[in-house]
Structure 1
């Protein structure tokens, strides 16, 4: 006798009709997922445009702030005195936000040559920054302010008196003159005068910028800074 095989077409749980039914549900699921993906991308794009527009509006509103008079004193500066855009910066050598702004300012001074007059004023709000500011002033006595300024910002975690004296040697200053200046506290009053001027200008933290007399606080992203400068150049 020959044992007959069962009729698979009749007995199988996956009949042709059932397989067709499942196939269309799979397609339907993929269609739904695809639609959800499109909607998600569209929503994200709409949010991005909204944020971008808000940033642009904020910049325009900020540049319409009242102009206040803030003295540049006789502090170190870069760029021509008659530049159309004048930036007075109150910064703290130990402040991480001032440190974040350091490469941004370098880029701006490079990109807007002869269009910006930039003034650095001391605002040593943090207790460990007073001597760093005095060191920059001592370097200024030898014509090396900006070299010391850059050195300090590039080594913010190392600004002890010993570190500052090492930097003076590295940038080619007379080490003995520099050490005598720093140890004597010769420029302590000069630094404190800047701090007092900043307090009078109602500075609450660093960095604080006065761009053509308009006050801005905190780290300003490069592109936003450029927008502000471009608007100031058009005034």
Structure 2
């Protein structure tokens, strides 16, 4: 093969190899790859942004939900401002008790509340709220609230618990007459008290307490919320004193 023929052969071979070059090595192939990378990068960036936004929304929703739940629980503990209390409104230790006038453990707890209220007149505030488990619970609670209408709630509270055993066989209807007799014994306005009791004037208040107790998941009485910390069952006075003193030191 002559030199000219060899040169021509090599040139032809080179042209042939160029035609067989892989697509990704060609100019248009390189451009296509670059374009694909840009599109993919855009998709990934967009996906990351969307994912981040979803997380932000979920976090916010979770925070909002938690805030609403906390507000709901706080409201259920504190009530609507109509409950009877002992102690100053701004007391450092706030104790809310859900109690049942027909509950034996609540009967044990009642004098503890009265004793602690005297021991800490400026530092502790007790709030009495109602929850019901017995046949005469509502009738007794209505009587206490009707006495409260005349400023005598706590006196009626004490008497009902003192004589709880004598009312245990009664129901919400049959307990009315003993409650009317008790009101007369306490020198309440009998006509006003009897009308209040017969009309179940404060049943709405008891319903509010019951609804809040259900929200809080109460399963028994007494249930206490000491600065909104839940304690269930009878709590001896010594235990209360230790807790209260500890809270007052802070």
TM-score (norm 2): 0.65
Match of 1:119 among 115, 127, 130: 127
Distance of 1:72 and 1:108 partners within structure 2:
22
Could you tell me how far 1:166 is from its partner in structure 2? 1.1
Which portions of structure 1, spanning 4 or more consecutive aligned residues, are displaced by more than 3 angstroms?
A: none
- Secondary structure at 1:206 match in 2: coil
Match of 2:179 in 1: 164
Which residue of the partner structure matches residue 88 of structure 1?
Answer: 96
Name structure 2 gaps, 5 residues minimum.
1-69, 168-174
More helix by percentage: 2
CA separation in 2, counterparts of 1:190 and 1:225? Answer: 28
In 1: Cα distance, 2:203 partner to 2:160 partner: 17
**Structure 2 contact 86–125 (Cα < 8 Å) conserved:** yes
Task: Return the offset for 1:167.
Answer: 1.1
Q: 1:144 aligns with which of 144, 152, 158?
A: 152
Count of residue pairs the alignment pairs up: 169
Q: Distance in 2 between matches of 1:177 and 1:113?
A: 31
Instruction: Report the Cα offset of residue 174 of structure 1.
Output: 0.4
Q: Which stretches in structure 1 are left out of the alignment for 5+ residues?
A: 1-65
Could you say which residue in structure 2 is the equivalent of 1:179? 194
* SS across alignment from 2:95: strand
Secondary structure in 2 aligned to 1:86?
strand
Q: Distance in 1 between matches of 2:145 and 2:78?
A: 18
Q: Distance in 2 between matches of 1:215 and 1:189?
A: 25
The answer as to whether partners of 1:90 and 1:123 remain within 8 angstroms in 2 is yes
RMSD: 1.5
The structure with more radius of gyration:
2
User: Does the 8 Å contact 1:168/1:175 carry over to 2?
Assistant: yes
